[in-house]
Structure 1
């Protein structure tokens, strides 16, 4: 895959990811954990078929010998899958996506604490600005119903941070963690522990068709495509392109579900996205000036 095609494909991936909010707003009867259960179940079914066709049965053998890191990574993926969909049923799409956008900065902070990764000054500044944006959002929502949903959404970037840190620690010890089977493990775990919480089922055929579409086209396929793009694109490029999910997701929910984002979310989101953009842009410039330098995280 050429660099240009990888960029174009990553844009398509972010567009597929961003459909979760607008599709969830079209559900008629399914609510909360049932939404998560069906999406995760359809993701499992899709990944089993895709992985078996793409990599053969050997991919399932690697899962058995993946070691603790793979299963911890899978647990983190399950938290991400579950918290994301539950949060969407509790608060606005914009709240969820802006909160998720702090993932790279959470990752940098956790890596600094746990594995002593050096953080450049620009990243500390980005963390401070993004933190102010999230604090502004939370402050304006305090005492409102959307506050709980935003706190649930915060579990996603926390899980992202620990997922990346565990993976990096394993790789530093010479153990390569295959992230694609880890995604499958995460979907299986999410399905298992949301099943009792989803009972009794209320989804009708209309809801099931939408949730099947989310499982296959919003999660399973784009996750695999993103892994393919990550083999060609540099980490800062992936981080920048992934921000398109926030823009696409808010726009689709606005246009397709008449979900107008609150002014506090737009203001806080502008701070978060701006901090991420400037941080990644400065990092990319620094690496281009010193191509032989091993870059610090974020």
Structure 2
């Protein structure tokens, strides 16, 4: 697990070694995998009030994250983490609260595929923010992968011109992409600070907002079980994995790996609920997937080449 350390200077991000890069990439991929089930779980709910869903989902995520920190760090350590997360932690908390609330609300206006694939713009936003605020160099191959992801998005949202997509839904999906990219960069910039308490605070904020705006918190036993999965597994576990992994790898790479969420999300909805994606959604998702796989293979080859001993 990540170690508590003094925050890094604001002028630069850390230079991760290969083991940290590998661990960070796997953790971020695990987060994307957990998040990708969100649409499939949401489609099984019968609760009509989005704020009720937000309240219960955020509550179960908060319980999971708090339990995880108590198990890992103990009561005294958990309290210390909340006290030392600072303004960076508060910023991450607000970003994740905004993203989790917007995701549930957007589901009422547009399809899961469109919400998730719109988020594939996160790598470009994160890369630009990383260049501006962290001075991180983004190589040509990463830029090419990012542009390929954007091309996949363009194919997907081309249905908007036929009025098949809600502008409210697309607007909320774009907001998710922006705040998620911001959270990625903040986490990377303050890599010495654990962000698990920050994401826990974010879902606590979501719990309060949802409970206040909800028309009622009573749900059926089936919905209660699904909301538990929606909160503890989909949101809580995903946030814990991402907050731990994103600090170990460059912002652009973390955001790029997280695009496995929009690639896998429509697949689970398709298999579980028979919500067949439009042909353009499949084409766009294929472009995103191929770009990500190609970039990961390139990173792997480059790391192996660097690890080879120099000839005598």
TM-score tier, shorter chain, comes to: 0.7 to 0.9
Residue 126 of structure 2 corresponds to residue 107 of structure 1: yes
- TM-score (norm: length of structure 2): 0.77
Contact 2:59–2:204 (Cα < 8 Å) also in 1: yes
What aligned pairs does 1:1-298 form with structure 2 within 5 A after superposition?
A: 14-57=32-75, 58-142=77-161, 143-171=163-191, 176-201=192-217, 203-225=219-241, 242-291=258-307
How far the C-alpha of 1:222 sits from its partner, in A, is 4.2
How far the C-alpha of 1:206 sits from its partner, in A, is 2.8
Contact 1:30–1:207 (Cα < 8 Å) also in 2: no
Change (3 A) 1:277 1:9: closer
Contact 2:117–2:156 (Cα < 8 Å) also in 1: no
Structure 2: gaps spanning 5 or more residues: 2-18
Q: CA RMSD in A?
A: 3.4
Find the aligned partners of 2:239 and 2:98 in 1 and give their Cα distance: 16
Find the counterpart in structure 1 of residue 13 from structure 2.
none
How far the C-alpha of 1:229 sits from its partner, in A, is 6.5
Change (3 A) 1:243 1:128: closer
With 57-66 and 226-235 compared, the bigger mean Cα shift is at: 226-235
Change (3 A) 1:278 1:5: closer
Find the aligned partners of 1:61 and 1:167 in 2 and give their Cα distance: 18
Find the aligned partners of 2:23 and 2:128 in 1 and give their Cα distance: 32
Find the aligned partners of 1:248 and 1:49 in 2 and give their Cα distance: 28
How far the C-alpha of 1:91 sits from its partner, in A, is 2.0
Structure 1: gaps spanning 5 or more residues: 293-298
Q: How many residues align?
A: 288
How far the C-alpha of 1:198 sits from its partner, in A, is 2.4
- TM-score (norm: length of structure 1): 0.80
Find the aligned partners of 2:91 and 2:236 in 1 and give their Cα distance: 19
How far the C-alpha of 1:244 sits from its partner, in A, is 4.3
